[in-house]
Amino acid sequence: MDKISAIIVTWNAEKFLAKCLDSVFSQSIAPFEVFVVDNGSTDKTIEIIKKTFPEVLLIENKQNKGFCTANNQAINKAKADYILTLNSDIVLEPDYISKLLNYLKIDKSVGMVQGKFLRMDKKTIDCLGLKLGLFFRLFNIAEGKKDSTDFKATFEIFGPCAAAAVYRKELISDIIYEDEVFDPKFFFLVEDFDLAWRARNQGWKAMCVLRAVCYHYRDSSAHSTPFKQYLSFRNRYFLLIKNGNWKHLLLFIPGFFIYDLPRFVFMLFTNPFTLKAIVEVVYSLPELIRKRD
């Protein structure tokens, strides 16, 4: 029987963690192992894990190493055939894992999947997968729309949102780089786009399986909006430099003047991290280019 390792990254997650873990341990197909990687929480996150969920394999970081590094720590220890990455503010339906694994058994060309993410009102779609749109803008498919039967039961996506994604171990073996599955340069945000793009370059497909359902609180991170905006802005350029080719560059040029330049000017006056983002992109060019070769 195929086994799955679940990985949850936490940072001051006491508000959500118990519900998330309860939903993991209530799955119809129980995970082979459940990791929690804590990034230096100062609330009761660690206490909750040790007192209520002693079966969890806990990795404690003294500081916030980011979503990417924390996931890599557990992925490199995981022993199962599949990896489930979870945000601490996700609650899974009891058959979420089983329905995704059943689909992966059907189509061996699919290496990464996600289910239907609903918001906590259970009526509004949170995400049906990642989409790389016009001018290489980044989207969550159907975000904010009312849940309906208009969508196909399964459909191909650019990649799954890592808030509740399942990856084949074979896919991970294909894309891992110096023990890195998620690129630590991204810290968090856009890292799942990067992973998906690298996997697609290796021939893997991604699917959304609507019959697998989970619920997402969202905005559980304690990071400020300007900081998250800075990471999103910076990491999009990391993504394009690392994964794009000359054809993508030609398509990007008109988009730069239509979308990127106005966005940059707006952020320059509204976000104190904007120049820091530009400096980091320029400084990171050699490393990003090295990773794409």
SS3 track for the chain: CCCEEEEEEECCCCCCHHHHHHHHHCCCCCCCEEEEEEECCCCCHHHHHHHHCCCCEEEEECCCCHHHHHHHHHHCCCCCCEEEEEECCEEECCCHHHHHHHHHHHCCCEEEEEEEEEECCCCEEEECCEEECHHHCEEECCCCCECCCCCCCEEEECECCCCEEEEEHHHHHHHCECCECCCHHHCCCCHHHHHHHHHHHCCCEEEEEEEEEEEECCCCCCCCHHHHHHHHHHHHHHHHHHHCCHHHHHHHHHHHHHHHHHHHHHHHHHCCCHHHHHHHHHHHHHHHHHHHC
- Give the mean model confidence (pLDDT) for residues 12-33: 96
Residues 6+ apart with CB under 8 A from 136: 236, 240, 244, 248, 251, 252, 255
Tell me: pLDDT of 16 over 90: yes
- Give the mean model confidence (pLDDT) for residues 264-272: 93
User: What is the rounded distance in angstroms from the CA atom of residue 91 to the CA atom of residue 79?
Assistant: 24
Please state, rounded to an integer, the average pLDDT across all residues of the chain.
94
User: What is the rounded distance in angstroms from the CA atom of residue 175 to the CA atom of residue 167?
Assistant: 11
pLDDT > 90: what percent of the chain? 86
Tell me: pLDDT of 235 over 90: yes
* Residue pLDDT, tens place only, 137-169: 999 999 999 998 888 899 999 999 999 999 999
Confidence of residue 248 (pLDDT cuts 50, 70, 90): confident
The domain ranges of the chain are: 4-216, 225-292
More confident position, 224 or 187: 187
* Residue pLDDT, tens place only, 24-79: 999 999 999 999 999 999 999 999 999 999 999 999 999 999 999 999 999 999 99
* Residue pLDDT, tens place only, 180-189: 999 999 999 9
Confidence of residue 221 (pLDDT cuts 50, 70, 90): low
Residue with tokens 């008109």, as numbered in its chain:
254
DSSP bridge partners of 112: 167, 206
What CATH architecture does domain 4-216 belong to? Answer: Alpha-Beta Complex (3.90)
**AA letter at 63:** Q
Residue with tokens 């995400």, as numbered in its chain:
127
Residue 293 is predicted with a pLDDT of 61
Confidence of residue 255 (pLDDT cuts 50, 70, 90): confident
Tell me: pLDDT of 13 over 80: yes
